[in-house]
């Protein structure tokens, strides 16, 4: 049964896994605080300086699934997979301009989640619920996909893919993760992120230096990959693949980059990482420092080409990177790389479950079920929810085809972006009304989901021409397809603006303009 197991690689893998397990449990004593308070358990007491935030956000945003999925797209169709690079370029100017304001108001008013901010700003419980439900819905499949990333490397170690043992290593890893997240809260992934990120940097540097030497340089790698794509396209002329984008891929490439960037910091796990920073300036420093991870991601994307040059032939493109590693490195280092990827799944999975747990506790349970919650009850509930969320993700992997998780993740992005107007516009203006933003959100959710439902599968992009019920055919005549999340959020914004202009409702705003200026908070404390 275990005859195919790569013992050397597995030993190294288990060693590093054991190290981070110890780190995860010890983390509860780090920067000691009362873990029975949700601000401490779920946000690390907002005491993470620029460096810790850099490791935490880097570990949180550039997930194990990313390390597997981005090069798998590059392996499968080439240039299109590189959309992750413009995506991660445009995130950081956006982060720089917006998140310090959100951090400041959250710090001043004790907000833990996007839902907290929205209800404080607009006084609208419906909008709060919409933001919270969207965040949880989008996060669940994302956690499940971290498990997919982890499972890929466990399979590459030689564990059986079928039978009763197939899910055993993954389940064990996840139970351990669930336990130390329960105990230590956000401190656990923050501390593990140090180990994870350093390992990932070593892994990627080794690949981008050593593999090209083995394969005869980058020129040879691109040539070999180019030939593979030419052969693929010759065999199937409908396929758009190659070293550059086919004309019909350009629109999707650009709009997917914009839409993904707009959605990213709406996810509860991204906001949790940012709000745990100790100052607005720590976030600004990270806008300058986090692009280092984007560069890393670009290099990781190139591994898709390296796999072709190294002669890796796999049916499932997601096996390309693990197979490249096995082919290029001695067993002990392959074990190290796999451990880096697997630990890379733990950090985001932990932060995602914490973000979802904070959201559920603060924006669903507390306002709608049990308003008189004490701090201790809040923290206890969030810990419990973080466990439930992880068990749910594991169940998704066990009982539901992986394709379902992939589809949900795709839809999750389309949905997540629909809270952008409520959260981001709210940082700068109160002109939009809560009701209008809620109506915009609902329209965005319906349109985004509708556009994504293709004839045979869920699809991320749709041509900018639609058959609208009752109205007939509408064609913008732009001649390209666009990311559905972006198309839907534009309609969402238009609807929110029109309704805000025509129907002025009044509701309380508990925030004041000065609350958004983080530099005055820093000055006030000094």
Interface positions with other proteins (CB under 8 A): 79, 82, 85-86, 88-90, 92-93, 96-97, 217-223, 243-245, 250, 253-254, 257-258, 284, 287-289, 291-292, 294-295, 298-299, 302, 519
CA-based nearest residue to 82, from 92, 69, 63, 64: 69
Q: What residues are paired with 474 via a beta bridge?
A: 466
Question: Residue 91 CB, nearest distance to other proteins (Å)?
Answer: 9
Phi (first) and psi of residue 461, to 5 degrees = -125, 155
Q: Report the residue number, 220 or 395, with the smaller CB distance to other proteins.
A: 220
Task: Specify the residue, 305 or 333, whose C-beta has the smaller distance to other proteins.
Answer: 305
CB of 243 to other proteins, least distance (A): 5
Alpha-carbon distance values, 304 to 65, 192, 216, 311, 427 (Å): 14, 27, 16, 11, 40
Comparison of 210 and 457: residue with beta carbon closer to other proteins: 210
- Asked whether 348 and 60 are in contact (CB, 8 A), the reply is yes
Q: Which is nearer to other proteins, 79 or 488 (CB)?
A: 79
14 exposure class (CB count in 10 Å sphere: 0-12, 13-18, 19+): middle
Tokens of 440: 């915009």
Provide the minimum distance between the beta carbon of 141 and other proteins in the complex, in angstroms, as a whole number. 27
Distance of CA 480 to the CA centre of its chain: 27
C-beta closer to other proteins: residue 173 or 245? 245
Residue 353 to residues 106, 268, 323, 387, 492, Cα–Cα distance (Å): 20, 9, 30, 8, 28
| CA terminus-to-terminus distance, the chain | 64
Kindly state the tokens that stand for 179: 């336990």
Report in angstroms how near the CB of residue 286 gets to other proteins at its nearest: 10
Residue 513 Cβ vs other proteins, minimum distance, rounded to whole Å: 16
CB nearer to other proteins: give 86 or 123: 86
Task: List CB contacts of 56: < 8 A, sequence separation 6 or more.
Answer: 48, 189, 190, 193, 273, 276, 347, 351
- Minimum Å distance from CB 88 to other proteins? 7
What is the closest distance, in whole angstroms, from the C-beta atom of residue 297 to other proteins in the complex?
9
| Residue whose structure tokens are 């050397």 | 8
Do 100 and 278 touch, CB atoms closer than 8 A? Answer: no
Residue nearer to other proteins on the CB measure, 280 or 335: 280
Nearer to other proteins, 249 or 359 (CB): 249
| Residues β-bridged to residue 78 | 242
How many other CB atoms are found less than 10 A from the CB of residue 330? Answer: 11
Nearer to other proteins, 160 or 298 (CB): 298
What the block records as the tokens of 113 is 């989640």
Give least dist CB 298 to other proteins, A: 5
Least Cβ distance, residue 170 to other proteins (angstroms): 33
């Amino acid at each position: 049964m275990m005859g195919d197991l790569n013992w050397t690689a597995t030993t190294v893998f288990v060693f590093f896994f054991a190290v981070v397990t110890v780190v995860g449990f010890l983390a509860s004593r780090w920067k000691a605080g009362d873990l029975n308070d949700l601000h401490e358990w779920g946000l690390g007491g907002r005491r993470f300086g620029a460096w810790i935030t850099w490791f935490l956000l880097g570990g949180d945003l550039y997930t194990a699934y990313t390390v597997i999925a981005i090069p798998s797209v590059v392996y499968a169709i080439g240039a299109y997979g590189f959309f992750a690079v413009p995506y991660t370029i445009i995130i950081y100017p956006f982060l720089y301009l917006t998140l310090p304001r959100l951090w400041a108001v959250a710090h001043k008013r004790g907000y833990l989640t996007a839902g907290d901010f929205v209800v404080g700003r607009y006084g609208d419980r419906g909008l709060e619920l919409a933001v919270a439900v969207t965040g949880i819905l989008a996060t669940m499949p994302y956690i499940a996909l971290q498990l997919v990333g982890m499972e890929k490397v466990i399979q590459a170690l030689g564990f059986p893919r079928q039978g009763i043992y197939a899910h055993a290593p993954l389940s064990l890893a996840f139970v351990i993760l669930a336990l130390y997240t329960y105990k230590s809260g956000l401190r656990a992934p923050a501390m593990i992120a140090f180990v994870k990120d350093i390992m990932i940097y070593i892994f990627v540097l080794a690949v981008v230096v050593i593999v090209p030497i083995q394969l005869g340089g980058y020129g040879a790698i691109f040539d070999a990959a180019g030939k593979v794509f030419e052969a693929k396209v010759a065999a199937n002329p409908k396929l758009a693949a190659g070293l550059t984008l086919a004309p019909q891929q350009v629109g999707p490439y650009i709009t997917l980059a914009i839409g993904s960037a707009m959605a990213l910091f709406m996810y509860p796990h991204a906001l949790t990482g940012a709000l745990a920073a100790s100052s607005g300036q720590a976030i600004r420093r990270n806008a300058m420092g986090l692009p280092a991870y984007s560069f890393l991601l670009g290099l990781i994307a190139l591994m898709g080409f390296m796999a072709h040059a190294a002669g890796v032939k796999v049916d499932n493109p997601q096996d390309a990177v693990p197979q490249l590693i096995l082919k290029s490195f001695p067993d002990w280092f392959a074990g190290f790389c796999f451990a880096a990827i697997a630990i890379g799944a733990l950090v985001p999975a932990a932060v995602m479950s914490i973000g979802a747990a904070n959201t559920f506790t603060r924006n669903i349970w507390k306002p709608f079920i049990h308003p008189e919650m004490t701090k201790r009850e809040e923290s206890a509930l969030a810990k419990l929810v973080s466990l439930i969320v992880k068990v749910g993700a594991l169940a998704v992997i066990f009982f539901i085809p992986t394709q379902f998780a992939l589809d949900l993740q795709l839809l999750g992005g389309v949905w997540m972006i629909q809270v952008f107007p409520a959260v981001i516009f709210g940082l700068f203006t109160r002109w939009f009304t809560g009701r209008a933003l809620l109506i915009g959100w609902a329209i965005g959710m319906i349109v985004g989901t509708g556009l994504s439902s293709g004839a045979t599968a869920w699809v991320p992009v749709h041509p900018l021409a639609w058959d609208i019920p009752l109205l007939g055919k509408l064609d913008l005549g732009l001649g390209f397809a666009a990311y559905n999340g972006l198309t839907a959020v534009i309609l969402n914004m238009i609807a929110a603006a029109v309704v805000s202009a025509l129907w002025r409702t009044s509701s309380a705003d508990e925030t004041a303009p000065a609350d958004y200026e983080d530099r005055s908070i820093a000055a006030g404390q000094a």
